Amino acid sequence: MTQTDPSSVSPITPEMAAPDFSLPRDGGGTVTLSALRGKKVVLYFYPKDDTSGCTKQAIAFSEQIEDFAAAGAIIIGVSRDGVSKHDKFIAKHDLKIPLAADEDGSVCESYGVWVEKSMYGKKYMGIERSTFLIDTEGMVKQVWRKVKVPGHVEKVLQAVRDL
């Protein structure tokens, strides 16, 4: 994958059409955003399977999946991990949400979540934990960037209910 200059990626903002994608998902299937028209979609990007914050976030979404479904929404998690890693992550933590594999990073780039990060003074490219709420017509309605896990799922659920 070519590394795009993060400043050249136009950020996805509310009232924009959500970029369509078709990605392999856990269990061997495929998830295509345009095929989900008519449903509200919570699309969340996370850095890596089976790390502390990502595990807490996936478990929190899984615990609330029935509430999201009652509000007419489905949840899709996306990282650059492969399908086999997603399958192991789901089995290990009994996750209830589909996880899509964006191994080449093209979807991360189209949503502007592939960014330069810094840890212990070292700069590197990685996924910025972000969530996008997409309405039944495929339009982005709300964007959360630089997500902190505690309380996030509850905020997203409220936004889904308010939509």
pLDDT at 115 over 70: yes
Q: Kindly state the average pLDDT of the residues 68-79.
A: 97
Question: What are the Cα distances from residue 103, in Å, to 22, 48, 49?
Answer: 12, 11, 13
Tokens (6 digits) for 20: 């369509």
Does residue 31 form part of some domain? no
Contact 42, 75 (CB under 8 A): yes
Instruction: State the Rg of the chain over Cα.
Output: 15
CATH of the domain at 128: 3.40.30.10
Q: Could you tell me if residue 73 is inside a domain?
A: yes
Domain that holds residue 97: 37-162
- Count of CB atoms situated within 10 Å of the CB of 13: 10
What is the percent of the chain where pLDDT is above 70?
Answer: 94
Kindly indicate the confidence band of residue 10, based on its pLDDT and cuts at 50, 70 and 90. Answer: low
Is 41 contained in some domain?
A: yes
8 domain-assigned: no
Q: With respect to residue 67, please indicate whether it lies within any of the assigned structural domains.
A: yes
pLDDT of residue 118: 86
Residue 46 in any domain: the answer is yes
Q: What are phi and psi of 118, to 5 degrees?
A: -140, 135
Number of domains within the chain? 1
- Inside any domain, residue 108: yes
CA 113-117-123 angle, 5° bins: 140
Please give the positions annotated as active site: 54
Residue 125 vs residues 63, 108, 135: alpha-carbon distances, Å = 30, 11, 29
